[in-house]
A and B are shown apart, each in its own frame.
Chain A
Amino acid sequence: MTDIPSASSTAGFSSSPNVLAGSSLAVRHERGERQAFCGLSGIVWLHRKMQDSFFLVVGSRTCAHMMQSAAGVMIFAEPRFGTALLQDRDLAGLADANDELDRVVRELLARRPDIGTLFLVATCPSEVIKLDLDTAAARLQQAHGGRVRILAYSGSGLDTSFTQGEDSCLRALVPHLPELPAMQRSLLVVGSLADVVEDQFQRLFDKLGIGPVHFLPPRRAADLPPVGPGTFLIAAQPFVGETMDALRERGSQLITAPFPFGIEGTRAWLLAIAAAWGISTQQVDEVIAAPAARAKTALARYREQLGGKRVSFLPDSQLEIPLGRFLARECGMQLGELGVPYLDRRLMEPELALLPKDTQLTEGQDLEPQLERLRAERPDITVCGLGLANPLEAEGLTTKWAIELVFTPIQGFDQAADLAELFARPLNRRQRLGF
Chain B
Amino acid sequence: MELTVWTYEGPPHIGAMRIAASMDAVHLVLHAPLGDSYADLLFTMIARSAARPPVSYTSFQARDLGGDTAQLVKTRLAETVARFKPQALLVGEACTAELLQDQPGALALGMGFDIPVIPLELPAFTRKESWGASETFHQLVRALLSGRPMPEGAGDPAGRAQAEGRRPRANLLGPSALGFRCRDDVAEVTKLLDSLGVDVHLVAPAGATPADLTGMLAADFNICLYPEIAHSTCVWLERMFKQPWVRTVPIGVGATRDFLLEVARLTGLDPEPALARARTRLPWFSRSVDSTYLTGKRVFIFGDATHVMAAVRVAREELGFDVVGFGSYSREFARELRALGEDIGVEALITDDYLAVEARVAELHPELVLGTQMERHIAKRIGIPCAVISSPVHVQDFPARYAPQMGFEGANVIFDTWVHPLMMGLEEHLITMFREDSEFDDGEVPERPSQPAQATAPVLADAGEPNPRPAEAGAPAPGESADATEVRWESDAEKELRKIPFFVRGKARRNTENFARERGLSLISVDTLYDAKAHFGR
Q: Which residues of A contact B (CB under 8 A)?
A: 1-4, 9, 12-13, 32-41, 44, 47-48, 51, 58, 60-62, 64-66, 68-80, 82-88, 90-91, 97, 100-101, 103-104, 107-108, 111-114, 124-125, 127-129, 156-159, 161, 368, 385-391, 393-394
Contacts and interface: CB of A to CB of B under 8 A. Distances in A.
A87 B125 CA distance: 5
Interface of B: 1-7, 9-11, 13-14, 33-42, 44-46, 48-52, 56-63, 65, 75-76, 79, 83, 94-96, 99-100, 123-126, 128, 355, 373-374, 377, 380-381, 392, 394, 452, 454-455, 457-458, 460-467, 478
A217 to B, nearest CB: 16
Contact of B392 (A73, A78, A83, A158): A73
5 contacts: A3-B63, A66-B35, A69-B39, A156-B62, A391-B50
Given A62-B94, A84-B1, A387-B44, 12 more contacts: A4-B62, A36-B37, A37-B38, A48-B461, A48-B463, A61-B10, A66-B36, A66-B38, A77-B460, A91-B125, A97-B1, A157-B33
A72 B463 contact: yes
A61 B63 contact: no
A158 B61 contact: yes
B96 A386 contact: no
A13 B75 contact: yes
Contacts of B45: 386-387, 389-390
A23 to B, nearest CB: 25
By DSSP majority rule, is chain B's interface helix, strand, loop, or mixed? mixed
A308 to B, nearest CB: 29
Nearest to B43: A387
B2 A77 contact: no
Contact of A157 (B35, B452, B461): B35
Given A76-B467, A84-B3, A113-B452, A69 B458 contact: no
B349 to A, nearest CB: 19
A324 B151 CA distance: 63
A83 B38 contact: no
Nearest to B76: A33
B389 to A, nearest CB: 16
A274 to B, nearest CB: 36
A371 to B, nearest CB: 9
B458 A114 contact: yes
Nearest to B84: A368
A77 B461 contact: yes
B37 A101 contact: no
Given A35-B37, A68-B7, A80-B461, A391 B52 contact: yes
Contacts of B11: 60-62, 65
A9 B5 CA distance: 38
Contacts of B373: 73
Contacts of A112: 454
Nearest to B60: A158
B10 A62 contact: yes
A74 B33 CA distance: 26
Nearest to A100: B1
A113 B455 contact: yes
A88 B377 contact: no
Contacts of B7: 61, 64-65, 68, 83
Given A76-B462, A76-B467, A159 B5 contact: no
A79 B461 contact: yes
Nearest to A108: B3
A3 B61 contact: yes
B455 A114 contact: yes
Contact of A86 (B37, B59, B125, B478): B125
Contact of A104 (B3, B51, B128): B3
B36 A62 contact: yes
B50 A88 contact: no
Contacts of B65: 1, 128, 158
Given A72-B464, A77-B461, A80-B461, A61 B95 contact: yes
Contacts of A38: 33-36, 38
Contact of A33 (B39, B58, B465): B58
Contacts of B462: 48, 75-76
A409 B363 CA distance: 40
B104 to A, nearest CB: 14
Given A2-B62, A76-B461, A157 B34 contact: yes
Contacts of B124: 60-62
A62 B7 CA distance: 10
Given A33-B57, A128-B100, A70 B38 contact: yes
Contact of A74 (B34, B83, B464): B464
Given A62-B94, A62-B124, A78-B457, A387 B2 contact: no
Contact of B4 (A33, A80, A82): A82
B34 A85 contact: no
Give 9 nearest A-B pairs by CB, closest first.
Answer: A38-B35, A157-B35, A387-B40, A394-B50, A124-B96, A77-B460, A60-B95, A100-B1, A65-B10
A372 B45 CA distance: 22
A3 B14 contact: no
A79 B61 CA distance: 29
A390 B3 contact: no
A35 B2 contact: no
A344 to B, nearest CB: 16
Given A4-B61, A129-B99, A80 B458 contact: yes
Contact of A60 (B34, B51, B125): B125
Contacts of B58: 33
Contacts of A390: 44-45, 48-50
Given A62-B36, A111-B454, A387-B38, A78 B61 contact: no
Contacts of A32: 59
Nearest to A97: B1
A84 B38 contact: no
A51 B458 contact: yes
Nearest to B373: A73
Given A32-B59, A64-B7, A66-B38, A387 B95 contact: no
Nearest to A81: B5
B125 A82 contact: no
A307 B223 CA distance: 57
A128 B377 contact: no
A208 to B, nearest CB: 33
A391 to B, nearest CB: 5
Contacts of B79: 368
Contacts of A159: 61-62
A315 to B, nearest CB: 11
A111 B479 CA distance: 10
A82 B62 contact: no
Given A37-B38, A61-B10, A44 B463 contact: yes
Contacts of A39: 35
B121 to A, nearest CB: 14
A68 B41 CA distance: 12
A86 B126 CA distance: 10
Contacts of B100: 128
Contact of B6 (A3, A73, A101, A107): A73
Contacts of A82: 3-5
B2 A85 contact: yes
A4 B35 CA distance: 13
A74 B125 contact: no
Nearest to A99: B1
A76 B99 contact: no
Contacts of A44: 463
Contacts of B464: 72, 74
B136 to A, nearest CB: 16
B483 to A, nearest CB: 12
Contacts of B39: 65-66, 69, 387
Contacts of A101: 1
A83 B4 contact: yes
Nearest to A157: B35
B78 to A, nearest CB: 11
Contacts of B60: 158
B95 A62 contact: yes
A66 B33 CA distance: 13
